Structure 1
Amino acid sequence: MQVAKDTVVEFHYTLSEADNQIESSHTNGEPLVYLHGNEGMLPGLEAAMEGKAAGDKFSVTLEPAEAYGERRDEFVQRIPLKHLQGAKVWKPGMTAIIHTDQGRHQVTIVKVGRFNADCDLNHPLAGKTLTFAVELMSVREATAEELAHGHVHAAGGCGHSH
């Protein structure tokens, strides 16, 4: 079966930037799984997956616009320390999680004060040209429930109420 809209794709990847490996799904042994064609994947990576089949191995290089976007210098915001999750003591360069109306976001600490921290809201990989080395493990039809919810369900359901 080939990767097409509404198929569930399972794949391993190694992500690099300028010959420096950033992360790999092989590290924890678990492949990534997503529902193709439902905006759950980087647009450039999803486009490269289209038409591929289980067992295919390929590499794709994405410009920032196809990955995490260009870096925007004005994306620095002062956030109260009580809203930062992930550590008790904050230092510049650390990453934190914040909850917003749009969901969870990762931010990078730029400067820390007594009650607030200046945080860079850009994705850590914004502005970078990224290369994904991909190995497709499996492709299957999505279930009716997965299509209705717009995401893949692990064995036993998705864990949210309907």
Structure 2
Amino acid sequence: MARLLKYIATSTAALALILPVSSAAEPYVEVVHDQLDAMLAQLESSAEEADATAISLETFEDLLASDTGHSYEVSTEAESSYAVVGACDTDCGDLDIIITNAAGETVAADETESDVPVILFDSEEAATYTVTANLYNCAADTCYYGVRLIQLQAD
């Protein structure tokens, strides 16, 4: 599992640089969908090169005001690798994602100043994790964002 994540992490390092830029006339929801779909496609390509498969499991979407967050629970399988990716609309300057276990301990986080966070993590046992999306630097009253859970399976 760790080798698969290391390979995918290396090939997705420049992911934010290749995301499609949507026109201003496009609805904010479509912007987020396009970014999430582009990240899934990049992970699918990277996984295929590593003889693995990327499977989109769940997508969460909502509106948030700047300096607020929302949490979601996700279930994972034992001995599995996952990616959690996020995207927000063109009014958003920073979207952070934090994953915590049932004890409230941080398992993984992307708190860099970016509006396209990407987290890779292993789930050693079947568990429920909390995925928290925190939005900062929203130029509007609210910004639209999405978070997607993707399972990475070795073939």
Q: Which has the larger Rg? A: 1
Sort the TM-score into its range (normalised by shorter chain).
Answer: under 0.3
Relative to its length, the structure with more strand (as a share) is 2
Which of the two has greater helix per residue?
Answer: 2
